[in-house]
Structure 1
Amino acid sequence: MSADGVPGAALDGVPDALPDALIVAVDDQPEVRRLLADIFRARGRRLEGFAGGDRAVAFVREHADRVELVILDLDLGPGRPTGIDICRELRAAHRDLPIILLTGHGTIDDAVAAIKAGAEDVIVKDPYLEDKLDLSVEKIERMMAQVRERRRLEGENRELRAINQRLRRIAGRRWQIVGASEALGRIMSKVERVAPVPRPVLILGERGTGKELIARAIHHLSRRSDRPFVTINCAAVPETLLESELFGHEEGAFTGATKLKEGKFELADGGTLFLDEIGNMSMDFQAKILRVLEYQRFERVAGAESIQVDVRVIAATNADVRAQMERGTFRRDLYDRLAFEVIHLPPLRERMDDVPALAAFFLSRFREDVAGVSVDAISAEALDRLAAYDFPGNVRELKNVVERAVYSSAGRVLSGDDVEAALPPQRREPTSAELIAGFHDDPKLPLGARVEAFERALCKDALERARYNQKEAAALLGLTYDQFRQRYRKYGLRKE
């Protein structure tokens, strides 16, 4: 029983137990509060009545998640805030809370002021108050149903965003870029800037520098992150099969084509296609890639239907693309199309500041992947030994060295000796200049031997610069392929 003698209506205070949904009424007349309580009790609602605004505002603030409607009398007596004042205060703190104002002498000015203050409706207190209130509440209930639906959707969106963030953190481990050097910072700034832009990217760098990791980071930070990320190493696929791998083929297109096959471009539709080692493609095949980049359209091998796709291409190569263009082995128009943004990945030897962070990361990952690993820290001596090595295999080689050292170590802290044992043997052949100088300093050596030593050194240097691609090495020396092959066999220049 309330203070006003109305069962189920606490008109002057806070009840002992509050239901889930509450109506709050502020009116200085007890009989009006009693009438409102009866009206809403019939609708299955609990009404909390207050004679003044201060306690009502405090109550709404405390139970904001349960109050679904506030009814305010416009005139609460001399010396008290008006219903419009209370309406403004409530609206500032609770933008979605429905508010109805009651007035004993409705005027247009009162109605305008109430609506400006944020009220949904203004009702005149007369013999038809109950009917008017019924109509107004029905209207507000429809409005509140929409508000509740919006809140539900907002809640779902918040939950989905949280799930998405968790999944991104999990997925992020697959492309995590580790390091704090200035060079890496500049690279990641480029990655973040170009990721949202739906244009091709060309990544240049030596083997093992992390070109695919950068490509994954671009995809992950793009608007295509929920779509496929498809990769292909163009150097690992014979060119006779590369067209089928990229564009697919129809059933019966060639011997062994027993069914239709979708190519990488189709599989990456809507997402990103990473073309690794694109510098190994022939000029003719580069023209086909250029056409797909331009028109996003292609045909399967032996197919007549033109297939439209939406694919962002990220290409990578460890070759010197500019030198290839000068030699005529890489199309300038393809370079121009791919080079919307060019990201150069420096070798690890040029960002040795990243070695400690990378080594710690690889140790952590190895401990997760392999049970029973005792090492949980890396000594300063071990880091010094790592920093003294130039890592021709770049980050990939550092990972292998750290894992071998951790695997072989018997202690809890990785030592310098552990790292030394895991490093490859320090074998270095003399450079061409050293060979020439050595033979030049020996006047007893015949001229022919000096010339052969010089020629062998030049051929070996060209092979190394061309990553043991004999055609490119021949072009670097201005020789035909057959001429270079004669010297290749003569000097035994196979890659060890």
Structure 2
Amino acid sequence: MKQQPPSANRVFIADDQPEVLDLLADKLRSRGKVVEAFPSGARLTERLAVDDDGVELVVLDLDFGAGEPDGIEALRRIKEQWPDMPVIILTGKGSVDAAVDAVQQGAADFIEKDLYVEDKLELSMEKVERMLQVLKENTRLKAENEELGRDNVFYRTELGKRYRIVSVSPQIQSILEQVEQMASIPRPVLVTGERGVGKELIAAALHFGGDRAKRPFVTLNCASVSENLLSSELFGHEKGAFTGAIETRRGRFENADGGTLFLDEVGNTPVEFQKNVLRVIEYQEFERIGGTRTIKVDVRVVAATNADLDKEIEEGRFRADLYDRLRFTEIQLPALRERSGDIRPLVEFFSRELSREVPSISHREFSGEAIAAMEFYPWPGNVRELKFAVERALCVAREERVGVGDLPPEVRGGDFGNQMSGGTFDEHMAAVEGGLLSRALSAAGNSQKEAASILGLTYDRFRHLLRKHGAIGGS
């Protein structure tokens, strides 16, 4: 079945009276339309079947004289193949009943041919253009909904079985228990942590692990939108609300109705914008920019930031009342350097994921030296940076195992790489091992049991390594 093309400006007219064709064609051309005229409905539909590109309207007479199919037959053919195509019916005196029948069969309007036919066409065109605007908006909304559906499929895939958050860290396991506890509670959640730690995955887990899993999961990175467009992006706008607002547009809150809205980098938003967000969270209502109609929604908000909101509040850049409202529950994600025991399973996971995504890149193991270098590196970009490093290494590696030389320079260099100028492999590995023990103890507040847990080691194994490096101490 053919669909109406999205482009516009072409109009097809069919009438058996040349003077009517000329009159209406001139009127339509004065409105900027490209007009093609036909002496019968059959000729019009034949042409439409060959070239329907940009045809936005058909004007069709009801009666083409003896031996020709009537306009109703042409209308049926058009509606079968182009169901969204607007059709205006032309009718002579005494044919109003037939015209009404045509409208019931899908015609957009009908015009009686008389002395005022030009003016009637003008009014009918205005009506049809309003219909086209609604159709265009519906098409856009359908595309948005399809995009939201694709996003939901992506997050279901990304989370996979359960949440697909790869970790052996007790800290992350505790967070996942917190996620399960909060998933079906329709209250805001604030997710904090450095860039790249996986805040969006936690937001998705909160959505897909709860009662709203089959409803939209909509995201907005507040830092990626200019301040003057943030409100429009979130709340939508009415046509003519500002320069460039050529059509009414729904915002993210409307798109997320019944589901979850994830506001990433919420700490970077203007204070005035924060006030409007607070109102929607509290009352679940808002108005589009330039609009007066209050729109009610049911949206669960999950917000994320890597900013120090306490400091932002002190300096007047973040509203304390919004902060209080968002952190009904606060989930703090640890940096990757604080859970280096997760690096090995994450490397394995990303390697297998890339080989599935790109069959020409086979899954390969990383050498002990490469893993040690990655465990030593502080990962300022956290899991996101690790994923990039693993994928890059797999793409450039030429050996069966990925070596330290295949890693990005900053990972194989830095503190670890600078130590490679002399000494044996065992000496370098001992230095790396000692550094890992020291960092784990520091992260655990000098608690050996906690440090052992961070590194994924048994307590006895951890104590043995401390003795080996002459670093017994702590609790």
What's the TM-score once normalised by structure 1's chain length?
0.51
Q: Distance in 2 between matches of 1:342 and 1:171?
A: 23
Q: Distance in 1 between matches of 2:273 and 2:240?
A: 22
The equivalent of 2:234 in structure 1 is: 246
The equivalent of 2:143 in structure 1 is: none
The answer to whether structure 1 residue 333 and structure 2 residue 321 are counterparts is: yes
- Asked if 2 retains the 8 angstrom alpha-carbon contact of 1:374 and 1:410, the reply is no
The equivalent of 1:365 in structure 2 is: 353
Note the C-alpha offset of 1:171.
5.7
Assess, with a 3 A threshold, how the Cα gap between structure 1 residues 290 and 169 changes in structure 2: closer, same or farther.
closer
Equivalent position SS for 2:380:
coil
- Asked if 2 retains the 8 angstrom alpha-carbon contact of 1:405 and 1:422, the reply is no
Q: Distance in 1 between matches of 2:345 and 2:205?
A: 18
The equivalent of 1:200 in structure 2 is: 188
Note the C-alpha offset of 1:214.
0.6
The answer to whether structure 1 residue 257 and structure 2 residue 245 are counterparts is: yes
Kindly provide the CA deviation profile for residues 213-253 of structure 1, in whole angstroms up to 9, marking residues without a partner as x: 11001101010000000000111111110110000001111
Q: Distance in 2 between matches of 1:317 and 1:167?
A: 22
Q: Distance in 1 between matches of 2:319 and 2:218?
A: 24
Q: Distance in 1 between matches of 2:155 and 2:245?
A: 38
Q: Distance in 2 between matches of 1:424 and 1:256?
A: 50
- Asked if 2 retains the 8 angstrom alpha-carbon contact of 1:290 and 1:334, the reply is yes
Q: Which structure is larger by alpha-carbon Rg, 1 or 2?
A: 1
The equivalent of 2:170 in structure 1 is: 182
The equivalent of 2:310 in structure 1 is: 322
- Asked if 2 retains the 8 angstrom alpha-carbon contact of 1:375 and 1:411, the reply is no
Q: Distance in 2 between matches of 1:168 and 1:427?
A: 37
Higher mean alpha-carbon deviation, 415-424 vs 207-216, is at: 415-424
Equivalent position SS for 1:313:
strand
- Asked if 1 retains the 8 angstrom alpha-carbon contact of 2:379 and 2:385, the reply is yes
- Asked if 1 retains the 8 angstrom alpha-carbon contact of 2:364 and 2:394, the reply is no
- Asked if 1 retains the 8 angstrom alpha-carbon contact of 2:189 and 2:303, the reply is yes
The equivalent of 2:202 in structure 1 is: 214
The equivalent of 1:410 in structure 2 is: 398
Kindly provide the CA deviation profile for residues 459-494 of structure 1, in whole angstroms up to 9, marking residues without a partner as x: xxxxxxxxxxxxxxxxxxxxxxxxxxxxxxxxxxxx
Q: Distance in 1 between matches of 2:154 and 2:248?
A: 34
- Asked if 2 retains the 8 angstrom alpha-carbon contact of 1:402 and 1:422, the reply is no
The answer to whether structure 1 residue 228 and structure 2 residue 224 are counterparts is: no
Q: Distance in 2 between matches of 1:277 and 1:424?
A: 31
The equivalent of 2:434 in structure 1 is: none
- Asked if 2 retains the 8 angstrom alpha-carbon contact of 1:405 and 1:421, the reply is no
Note the C-alpha offset of 1:419.
2.6
Q: Distance in 1 between matches of 2:400 and 2:232?
A: 51
The equivalent of 2:30 in structure 1 is: none
Q: Distance in 2 between matches of 1:195 and 1:275?
A: 17
Equivalent position SS for 2:414:
coil
The equivalent of 2:46 in structure 1 is: none
The answer to whether structure 1 residue 172 and structure 2 residue 173 are counterparts is: no
Kindly provide the CA deviation profile for residues 144-198 of structure 1, in whole angstroms up to 9, marking residues without a partner as x: xxxxxxxxxxxxxxxxxxxxxx999746349621111111111111111111111
Assess, with a 3 A threshold, how the Cα gap between structure 1 residues 394 and 252 changes in structure 2: closer, same or farther.
same
The answer to whether structure 1 residue 391 and structure 2 residue 379 are counterparts is: yes
Assess, with a 3 A threshold, how the Cα gap between structure 1 residues 168 and 344 changes in structure 2: closer, same or farther.
closer
Assess, with a 3 A threshold, how the Cα gap between structure 1 residues 170 and 282 changes in structure 2: closer, same or farther.
closer
Pairwise mapping of residues 433-448 of structure 1 onto structure 2 (< 5 A)? none
Note the C-alpha offset of 1:369.
1.4
Paired letter, 2:269: M
Equivalent position SS for 1:202:
strand
The equivalent of 1:290 in structure 2 is: 278
Could you list the runs of 5+ residues in structure 1 that have no partner in the other structure? 1-165, 429-496
Equivalent position SS for 1:413:
coil
Residue-pair matches, total: 263
Note the C-alpha offset of 1:425.
5.5
- Asked if 1 retains the 8 angstrom alpha-carbon contact of 2:263 and 2:303, the reply is yes
Higher mean alpha-carbon deviation, 358-367 vs 323-332, is at: 323-332
Assess, with a 3 A threshold, how the Cα gap between structure 1 residues 262 and 427 changes in structure 2: closer, same or farther.
farther
Assess, with a 3 A threshold, how the Cα gap between structure 1 residues 334 and 221 changes in structure 2: closer, same or farther.
same
Q: Distance in 1 between matches of 2:194 and 2:251?
A: 28
Sequence identity, in percent? Answer: 50
Equivalent position SS for 1:407:
helix
Paired letter, 1:275: L
Note the C-alpha offset of 1:423.
2.9
Assess, with a 3 A threshold, how the Cα gap between structure 1 residues 332 and 420 changes in structure 2: closer, same or farther.
closer
The equivalent of 1:270 in structure 2 is: 258
Q: Distance in 2 between matches of 1:420 and 1:279?
A: 31
Note the C-alpha offset of 1:385.
1.3
Paired letter, 2:260: T
Structure number with greater CO (CA < 8 Å, separation at least 6) is 2
Note the C-alpha offset of 1:373.
1.4
Pairwise mapping of residues 452-463 of structure 1 onto structure 2 (< 5 A)? none
- Asked if 2 retains the 8 angstrom alpha-carbon contact of 1:375 and 1:414, the reply is no
- Asked if 2 retains the 8 angstrom alpha-carbon contact of 1:244 and 1:301, the reply is yes
